[in-house]
Structure 1
Amino acid sequence: MTSRDDREMLRHHGDVDAAAGLLDFAVNVRLRRPPEWLHKRLVAALERLGSYPTAEDERAARDATARRHGRLPEEVLPLAGAAEGFALLPALRPRSAAVIHPSFTEPELALRNAGVEVSRVLLDPAEGYRLRVERVPEEADLVVLGNPTNPTSVVHPAETVRALVRPGRVLVVDEAFMDAIPGEEESLASERLPGVLVLRSLTKMWGLPGLRAGYALGEPELLERLGRCRPHWPVGTLGLEALIGCASPEAVRESERAATELVRYREELASDLGAIPGLEVGRPAAAPFLLLRSEQGSRVRARLRERGIAVRRADTFPGLSEDHFRVAVREPEENAELTAALRGILGC
């Protein structure tokens, strides 16, 4: 059983830490609004809101996403955000699930709420939170892993992730931040592996948290099981239009450029923060955020908020403590504000 307090911790997300008027390092969304070309495309699609999304609309979204990953349309399931994919996991009827932590907490919450037995596989900070396949229970018929992992910013080698595949097991790989890694070399999105379900999001790269758009990739039979109990029209016209636009070759090239830029910003920020005594920076980092630790973590977060800066508390992630907090990677000017504030708080 999961207590009410535990459920509330699992439901905590960065948008709760952010508030109007604060410089937002709590939410991992690259843009404050969608790029102009995507905004115009969505505005044009408003003309179609007087009709239900059609089968042709969904097929176009599946086709575009399939081309983007070299898959078949039948291997794509549009979702109302990757979070919907986590909410649907109980439909797979696992007997015993394993969730690899620290990681995004919605999958565990959805499974526990459905009465599924969940084992937490806690990765070791002394090992850099790297995946150890032998720690995952063999009897687990559903395993959930983030790659790259939120909030540790660790990317696991695709070879290691593949080693989790077993007959009779569903492996769910949360790749919500994979498009922020240049080349996406450790992604399984384009691979046809039995029992592997890859979840993707448009939210982070394209500034679309209010739209809720994402997709699942996997075997057609597995996707059919996942979506069997969904209502009609689970993804609206705008979500389907976003999937089509963000899967275009031009959009993929733009995301690649953005990912390369984010690497530079992240490494500069990590270097600057790493020079502050009393502040630990989780390295190596691969995603557009950093996991930080200070023995005064709770006080540091409160003092940052007093200075108008929001960061993500991280004690709600299993395996982390009140000393931990996560910061998104922003552009250099904003990153400099965060660095200066932390230097002042920690007495540097």
Structure 2
Amino acid sequence: MPSDHAEPGAGPDGPGGYDLRHHGDAEAGDGLVDFAVNVVGDGPPSWLRERLVATLDGLGRYPRADHDRRARETVAARHGRAPGQVLPLAGSAEGFALLPGLRPRRAAVVHPGFTEPEAALRGAGVDVVRVPTAAADGHLLDPAAVPAEADLVVVGNPTNPTGVLHPADSVRALARPGRVLLVDEAFADAIPGEPESLAGDADLPGLLVFRSLTKTWALAGLRAGYALGDPALLARLAAPRPPWPVSTPALEALIACCEPDALSAADQRARELAAHRVSQAAALRRIEGVAVQPGLAPYLLLHLPDGTGPEVRRRLRENGIAVRRGDTFPGLGPDHVRVAVRPPETARRLVEELERVLRTLAVPA
């Protein structure tokens, strides 16, 4: 198991010593019931699998320009944009790795939030300031807290790991001349109707939106996503890329998952997830000492009784359950854990094991 959260102070990943490169897949493992990774299912549905398999006969050729064009056109139609406002990516992670190429002088990253953008920027020597949200305010974004001099602002919506969905107007308020506003919408399609999304805001200056296919379609191993933004901004983002950065199967996934039938299926999945989230959150709240952060995402942020976090995670793992540690997210501590939303029969095991572990810890030695 990874080492516990470092004490506050200067660390290799910036203030506080948070391990910004730690992700949920490090917690999961063979034989464990996986609540650490926010991917729905073990693999893509059969119809999508067939579309991907059909591309294998073409792997002897480099990804084709017409395939790339079809991907841009399909994604553009899905969001009411022009094809020139779409950049296919090898997953959102590639987009984050490209951020230093925008040459920001000072970047502001809203936290607690996905840590890969900050890790990529700090690794390239960019000056990064963290903008903390407060648990007392439900971790809602306060646009006034973002430094005026920041020429790159990064915010997740919904935010990972809190699950908070910020009002679109609050996010829009961060846009201003000379600033790039990056909204990470990796989980937007996991919320029915995609409320508060800025994916269709083609005229908002400096806006970049990153989208991922990883979560809803169980494509973590394929690496497929896209960026939306002004063509000139996308060209700056893409400048450091090598030729053919997105594979033929990934381009096909973009097309398949943005067609009308797939969008309808995704919305149905989102509605099922929403129902599962409500029941799972209610069950977890009934456990004495467990606080559940309200949210709309396909994961829940829990605060365990003070001082129990590391031992609870260890004992859950011993009993076959993987959860995502929260103390690698700036602003959270060792008693925070994130758990993916799962079907009721799977969630029941987490609830029962967590309640049993906490009950055991409460018994004096």
- Smaller-chain TM-score bracket: over 0.9
CA separation in 2, counterparts of 1:91 and 1:345? 47
**Structure-1-length-normalised TM-score:** 0.98
In structure 1, runs of 5+ residues without a counterpart are none
Kept in 1, the 8 Å contact 2:324–2:337? The answer is yes
What are the Cα deviations for residues 120-165 of structure 1, in whole angstroms up to 9, with x where unaligned?
A: 0010011110000110000000000000000000000101100000
Given candidates 234, 238, 252, the residue that maps to 2:263 is: 252
Displacement of 1:8: 7.2
1:265 — aligned with what? 276
Displacement of 1:292: 0.4
Kept in 1, the 8 Å contact 2:13–2:119? The answer is no
The answer to whether 1:234 aligns with 2:242 is no
The answer to whether 1:316 aligns with 2:328 is yes
- Letter aligned with residue 101 of structure 1: H
Which runs of at least 4 in structure 1 moved beyond 2 Å after TM superposition?
1-8
The answer to whether 1:329 aligns with 2:332 is no
Displacement of 1:46: 0.4
2:355 — aligned with what? 343
Kept in 1, the 8 Å contact 2:211–2:225? The answer is yes
Given candidates 209, 216, 233, the residue that maps to 1:198 is: 209
1:55 — aligned with what? 65
Displacement of 1:191: 1.0
SS in structure 2 at match of 1:245: helix
1:78 — aligned with what? 88
SS in structure 1 at match of 2:242: coil
- Cα RMSD of the aligned pairs, angstroms, is 1.3
Kept in 1, the 8 Å contact 2:18–2:330? The answer is no
What is the count of residue pairs matched by the alignment?
347
Kept in 2, the 8 Å contact 1:2–1:112? The answer is no
Kept in 2, the 8 Å contact 1:79–1:85? The answer is yes
Percent of residue pairs bearing the same amino acid type: 60
Given candidates 29, 34, 44, the residue that maps to 1:19 is: 29
CA separation in 2, counterparts of 1:34 and 1:130? 33
The answer to whether 1:154 aligns with 2:161 is no
Given candidates 92, 98, 111, the residue that maps to 2:108 is: 98
CA separation in 2, counterparts of 1:198 and 1:54? 25
- Letter aligned with residue 311 of structure 2: R
CA separation in 1, counterparts of 2:81 and 2:41? 28
CA separation in 1, counterparts of 2:143 and 2:222? 35
Displacement of 1:2: 7.0
SS in structure 1 at match of 2:154: strand
Displacement of 1:31: 1.6
CA separation in 1, counterparts of 2:246 and 2:173? 33
Given candidates 296, 300, 314, the residue that maps to 2:312 is: 300
The answer to whether 1:225 aligns with 2:239 is no
In structure 2, runs of 5+ residues without a counterpart are 1-8, 361-365
Displacement of 1:4: 3.1
What are the Cα deviations for residues 221-277 of structure 1, in whole angstroms up to 9, with x where unaligned?
A: 000000011000000101000000000000000000000110000000000000100
Displacement of 1:98: 0.2
Structure-to-structure mapping, 1:209-220, within 5 angstroms: 209-220=220-231
Displacement of 1:5: 6.1
Displacement of 1:307: 0.8
SS in structure 1 at match of 2:22: coil
1:282 — aligned with what? 293
Question: By percentage of residues, which structure has more helix?
Answer: 1
Displacement of 1:3: 3.5
SS in structure 2 at match of 1:182: coil
SS in structure 1 at match of 2:55: helix
Kept in 2, the 8 Å contact 1:173–1:198? The answer is yes
1:133 — aligned with what? 143
What are the Cα deviations for residues 174-195 of structure 1, in whole angstroms up to 9, with x where unaligned?
A: 0000000111110000111110
CA separation in 2, counterparts of 1:181 and 1:69? 16
CA separation in 2, counterparts of 1:22 and 1:54? 40
